[in-house]
């Protein structure tokens, strides 16, 4: 049987502590044991989280890797994480993640459900081991099939904001024409509760950014919103718990302790 | 599609809620020692509140025997009472469920209704994996049971394992 190819993506910002490397090596070794052919590790090192991730996606898509697996540089993941996520994904799912926890008390899980008003709330009330559908997560310990990125690439176009910067928009959300140059007195203003954002065609071709920072939110939120709009669904396997490196390793035990000794 | 369902109410649950178009069989043989002739016969199997009746140390072996009944790619659905729910109830200082003990140890109306194992969701998943099943779904949710006209609510685990 042909080995499954997985691109192992690690965006980094500066150096990693000594206790990062051992568990990482254990993951590599374990992957080979169950017949995964790792591509990489692919790394990108700049201070821009979104730039790093976008560059890694493009590099991974340029290979024949079927999946991308994301490891953050301040996390330690159990050796069998990739195996477990691949099994949970099976043939039906394109995005599956494990669980890790915020570094500060009360150590809430970095996995979210979207609220009706557009904000995100940490998941709560699950039983350890459940596989849950969620709306967004941190990017450590996330397995994404290449079709997830390809769907975004196909379904989104990049437009230029007249006020500066670019924005990916789903093709079905564009009505009428988009002009090279146009303006109106209301541009940039909030009128009757609607923010009048003028967009134009970009002056030169721009690749769809999968990750980007906007509106005081982290770069992964934009990705998961685009993925959802492109028909992808995200699942968290709560049996996979990872450590979050601070001056010590923050784990699920910290969350459960802070929550009063029991699983929320 | 051929399916096998066992446990109280399993056939009804399978027919109405899971696989309405499947040809659903109930085992005419010993559930814990299936004949070799039944191997690789089913696309779907439902073990509905049965696994907790298996002796603790035999759970993985029984799961392996059930796995053998599946065709490659077939699914085994396992439902068991939640040990976590029991723990929360029994430690609840306010109002533990009067059904908590029966939930964990069985109704004990006859020899077949004593429970010999208890499962957290993590343990159930681990046992399925040891038996060679890849876990694709793992959920915990409420179930109801009527005893002498009184309806009680408790929680169950539901795991779907796939034979690779």
Q: Which of A67-71, A100-104, A193-197, A215-219 has the lowest mean pLDDT?
A: A215-219
Q: Answer yes or no: are the C-beta atoms of A109 and A125 closer than 8 Å.
A: no
The answer on pLDDT for A262 being more than 60 is no
Chain B residue closest to A239 (CA)?
A: B122
The pLDDT, as a whole number, for residue B112 is: 83
- Give the pairing type, strands B42-48 and A95-99: unpaired
Average pLDDT over chain B, rounded to whole? 93
What phi and psi, each to the nearest 5 degrees, are found at residue A39?
Answer: -100, 120
- Chain A nearest C-alpha distance from B107 (Å): 25
B79: β partners: B48, B158
The pLDDT, as a whole number, for residue A261 is: 54
* A121: helix, strand or coil: strand
Q: What pTM value is reported for the model?
A: 0.90
The answer on pLDDT for A14 being more than 60 is yes
Distance between CA A112 and CA A199 in Å, rounded?
A: 30
Query: B136 touching A, CB under 8 A?
Result: yes
The answer on pLDDT for B2 being more than 90 is yes
pLDDT digit string, tens, across residues A39-71: 989 999 988 888 999 999 999 999 999 999 999
**Residue of A87, A237, A262 lying closest to B88 (CB–CB):** A262
In a domain, A20, yes or no: yes
Query: Domains in chain B and their CATH numbers?
Result: 2-163 (3.40.50.150)
ipTM rounded to 2 decimals:
0.85
In a domain, A158, yes or no: no
Output the six-digit token pair for A160. Answer: 């230029």
Percent of chain B at pLDDT > 70 equals 100
The answer on pLDDT for A264 being more than 60 is no
pLDDT digit string, tens, across residues B54-80: 999 999 999 999 999 999 999 999 999
* A232: helix, strand or coil: coil
**Residue of A126, A239, A263 lying closest to B125 (CB–CB):** A239
In a domain, A138, yes or no: yes
**Residue of A88, A128, A130 lying closest to B136 (CB–CB):** A88
Give me the mean pLDDT over the A148-155 stretch: 97
Hey, which residues 200-259 in chain A have their CB within 8 Å of chain B?
237, 239
CA A124 vs CA A134, A175, A241: distances in Å:
11, 39, 15
In a domain, A197, yes or no: no
Chain A residue closest to B82 (CA)?
A: A127
Which ranges constitute the DSSP H helices of chain A? 18-33, 49-61, 81-89, 146-155, 219-229, 252-258
pLDDT digit string, tens, across residues B95-148: 888 888 999 999 898 888 899 999 999 999 999 999 999 999 999 999 998 888
The pLDDT, as a whole number, for residue A15 is: 85
The pLDDT, as a whole number, for residue A218 is: 87
**Contact B140/A130, CB-based, under 8 Å?**
yes
In a domain, A113, yes or no: yes
pLDDT digit string, tens, across residues A171-186: 999 998 888 778 888 9
Which chain A residues are within 8 Å of B139, Cβ to Cβ?
Answer: 130-131
B124: β partners: none
Output the six-digit token pair for A250. Answer: 């923050």
Distance between CA A231 and CA B97 in Å, rounded?
A: 42
Domain count along chain A: 1
The pLDDT, as a whole number, for residue A1 is: 62
Q: What is the DSSP string of A168-196?
A: EEEGGG--S---SS---TTTT-EETTEE-
The pLDDT, as a whole number, for residue B130 is: 96
A110 lies in which domain range? 4-150+219-258
The answer on pLDDT for B38 being more than 90 is no
Q: Which of A178-187, A224-233, A241-250 has the lowest mean pLDDT?
A: A178-187
- Chain A nearest C-alpha distance from B158 (Å): 9
Output the six-digit token pair for B87. Answer: 């723990």
Chain B residue closest to A96 (CA)?
A: B136
In a domain, A168, yes or no: no
Whose CA is closest to B159, among A100, A136, A125, A127? A127
CATH number for A103: 3.90.550.40
Query: How far separated are the first and last CA of chain B, in Å rounded?
Result: 18
């Amino acid at each position: 049987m042909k080995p499954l190819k997985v691109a192992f993506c690690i965006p980094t910002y500066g150096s990693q502590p000594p206790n990062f490397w051992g568990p990482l090596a254990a993951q590599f070794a374990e992957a080979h044991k169950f017949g995964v052919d790792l591509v990489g590790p692919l790394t990108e090192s700049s201070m821009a989280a979104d730039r790093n991730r976008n560059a890694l996606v493009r590099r991974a898509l340029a290979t024949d890797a079927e999946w991308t697996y994301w490891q953050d540089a301040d996390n330690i993941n159990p050796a069998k994480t990739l195996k477990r996520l691949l099994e949970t994904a099976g043939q039906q799912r394109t995005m599956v993640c494990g669980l890790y926890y915020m570094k500060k008390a009360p150590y809430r899980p970095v996995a979210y459900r979207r609220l009706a008003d557009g904000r995100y709330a940490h998941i709560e009330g699950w039983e350890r081991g459940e596989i849950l559908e969620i709306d967004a997560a941190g990017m450590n310990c996330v397995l994404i099939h290449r079709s997830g990125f390809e769907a975004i690439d196909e379904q989104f176009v990049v437009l230029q904001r007249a006020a500066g910067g670019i924005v990916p928009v789903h093709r079905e959300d564009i009505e009428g024409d988009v002009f090279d140059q146009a303006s109106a007195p209301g541009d940039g203003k909030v009128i009757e509760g609607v923010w009048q954002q003028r967009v134009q065609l970009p002056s030169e071709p721009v690749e769809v950014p999968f990750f980007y920072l906007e509106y005081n939110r982290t770069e992964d939120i934009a990705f998961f919103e685009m993925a959802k709009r492109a028909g992808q669904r995200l699942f968290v396997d709560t049996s996979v718990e990872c450590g979050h490196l601070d001056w010590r390793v923050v784990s699920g035990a910290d969350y459960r302790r802070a929550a009063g000794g029991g699983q929320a | 599609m051929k399916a096998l369902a066992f446990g109280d109410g399993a056939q009804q649950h399978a027919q109405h809620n899971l696989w309405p178009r499947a040809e659903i069989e109930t085992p005419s043989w010993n559930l814990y020692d299936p004949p070799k002739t039944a191997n690789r016969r089913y696309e779907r199997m439902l073990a509905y509140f049965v696994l907790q009746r298996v002796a603790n140390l035999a759970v993985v072996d029984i799961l392996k025997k059930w796995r053998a009944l599946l065709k490659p790619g077939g699914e085994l659905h396992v439902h068991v009472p939640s040990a976590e729910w029991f723990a929360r109830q029994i430690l609840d200082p306010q109002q533990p469920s009067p059904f908590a003990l029966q939930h964990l140890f069985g109704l004990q109306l006859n020899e077949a209704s004593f429970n010999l194992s208890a499962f957290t969701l993590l343990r159930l998943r681990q046992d399925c994996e040891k038996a060679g099943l890849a876990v694709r779904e793992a959920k915990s949710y409420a179930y109801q049971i009527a005893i002498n006209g009184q309806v009680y609510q408790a929680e169950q685990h539901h795991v779907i394992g796939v034979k690779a």
